[in-house]
Structure 1
């Protein structure tokens, strides 16, 4: 079970792949953070935002979780408007935050 609550039937192939990858990171906490954000936002992300999200998916779970919780400073090249939306989404909707 992926955890997703959203159907991917209305999504193009790239968005389906991103949604799948967001829910299959390895660390369950990151599956929930990235997956829930993708469920809520994937259909409305611009091409630039999709590219930013794909870059975030490539980051190790430990580093990305540290950036989101504020335990590790976010490198400036990843501190994008999309990352800040992800961080705010997590802070306001998830019981898993530091």
Structure 2
């Protein structure tokens, strides 16, 4: 039985990469960006609900501002184990990689200024 409030479970729910949702008439670039976001949403699903929420929040509210290098760093970040990500995001540890460290700082700033 899931005792989580509906708002939390609704945030985790979403189309799988195999279910792109309703078709929309969009330009090729918009469609490619939308596919990229959907793929990343799927990768943001973690074994820890807290990480799901933090990473998806950043994806929705901060990812668009990243340049190409930072976007690749975000994908590398998603390849890290949950416990390491949690330690970085709560400030218990700092990534040795300067690019990941800067990205973690941006994610933490986006969380602090969450709408």
Calculate the TM-score normalised by the size of structure 2: 0.63
Match of 1:76 in 2: 96
Higher relative contact order (CA 8 A, sep 6+): 1
1:40 aligned to 2:61? Answer: yes
**CA-CA distance at 1:85 after TM superposition:** 0.5
The number of aligned residues is 88
Post-superposition, which runs of at least 4 consecutive aligned residues in structure 1 deviate over 4 A?
Answer: none
In structure 1, stretches of 5+ residues that fail to align are none
Question: 1:42 and 1:16, CA in 2 relative to 1: closer, same or farther beyond 3 A?
Answer: farther
Question: 1:55 and 1:28, CA in 2 relative to 1: closer, same or farther beyond 3 A?
Answer: same
**CA-CA distance at 1:14 after TM superposition:** 2.6
CA distance in 1, matches of 2:40, 2:85: 16
RMSD of the TM alignment (CA)? 2.5
Match of 2:109 in 1: 88
Residue by residue over 1:59-84, the C-alpha shift from the partner in whole angstroms, topping out at 9 and shown as x without a partner, is 1111111111112x21220312x221
